[in-house]
Structure 1
Amino acid sequence: MKSQSIEVAIAILYRSGRFLMQLRNDIPGILYPGCWGFFGGHLEPGETPEVGMRRELLEEISYSPPQLAAFDCYNDAHVIRHIFHAPLTVELNQLVLQEGWDLGLLTPEDIKAGQAYSEVAGQVRPLGQPHQTILLDFLARKPYQ
C-alpha cells in the first residue's frame, strides 16, 4: 500500500525586514528538534490550506493575520508544504507562544547563515533545512515588498 503524503500549511510572517520563526522543542520524535522553523502544521481532514494556516497560527501564537497570501507549494516524497506569507502586524510581546521552545525575528543574514541565537536556549540554533530553503527562495523573489 502506497503511503500518502501529509499536507501542512506554514507561514512566513515578516516585520521590518525580519522573519518570525519558531524554535522547535528539542525533544526526540519530532521533525527538526531544536531547530528554527515556521509556524504552522498538519491540515485536518477536509480543511483547506488557508483555513488550516489560520487555525495553526491561532493555536500556536494566538495571531490572526489581517490577510494571508499564497507563496508556493513545496512537495517531496513525504510532505506537501503549502506556504503562505503575511505581515506581522503586532509586536512580539503580543504573541502568546503556545507551541515551541522560543520565537524570534530572524534577519536575512541569520537565514543565509542557517542559524540564529535564541535567548531562551541561550545558544545559536540551526534552521531546519527545508525552512531555510523556502526562506531563501522567498528572499530571492521578494513577494513582500
Structure 2
Amino acid sequence: MSKQPIQVAIAILYQDNKFLMQLRDDIPNIPYPAHWALFGGHIEPGETPDIAVQREILEEIGYVLPHFFKFGCYADNVVVRHVFHAPLLVEFNQLVLNEGWDMGLLTPDDIRQGNFYSANAGGEKPLGAIPQQILLEFIEKDLVNSQ
C-alpha cells in the first residue's frame, strides 16, 4: 500500500518586487534544513488549503493574510504543495519570526542566483530547489504587477 503524500499550504508573499522567504532551521530530520523556503506548512485534518495557509502564516510570522490568490499546485510522490500568493502589506520589521532560523526579502536576482545571506546563520544559505522553481515561475508570470 503506497503512502499518501503530505499536503501543505505555502504562500508567496511579496513587497516592492521582493519575496519573503524563511530560512529553515538547521535540523537534519526536516525537509530542506538550512535552506531558504516559503512560509507555510501542513494542512491539518479537516482543513482546506486556504484555511491552512492563513493559519500557518499567522503562526509563523504573525501576519494576517489580506486577500490572497491560488497560484498553483506542485505535487510529487512525497508532498502536494498548494501555493498561494498575497502582498505583504506591513513593514518587514513588524513581522515576528516564530518558526525558522531567519527570514528575508529576496529580489528576483537573489532567487535566480539560488543563495542568500543570513545574518542569523552568519553566511549565505541555498534556496530549496522546489521553492526556487515556484518563485521563478511566479516571477516569470509577473503576477505581482498584474493584481
Q: TM-score scaled to structure 1, two decimals?
A: 0.98
- What is the rounded CA distance, in whole Å, between the counterparts of 2:103 and 2:95 in structure 1? 9
**Which runs of structure 1 show a deviation greater than 4 angstroms over 4 or more consecutive aligned residues?**
none
Q: Cα offset for 1:120?
A: 1.2
Matches within 5 A, 1:111-130: 111-130=111-130
How far, CA to CA, are the matches of 1:110 and 1:76 in structure 2?
25
* Match status 1:66 vs 2:66: yes
Map of 2:24 onto structure 1: 24
Cα distance, 1:9 vs structure 2:
0.3
CA deviations 1:53-88 (Å, max 9, x no partner) are 000001100001211110010111111100000000
Q: How many residues align?
A: 145
Give the whole-Å Cα distance in 2 for the aligned partners of 1:144 and 1:46. 31
TM-score (norm 2): 0.97
Counterpart position of 1:42: 42
| Percentage of pairs with the same residue | 58
1 CA distance for matches of 2:3 and 2:65?
A: 34
Over the aligned positions, Cα root-mean-square deviation in angstroms equals 0.6
Deviation of 1:4 (Å): 0.4
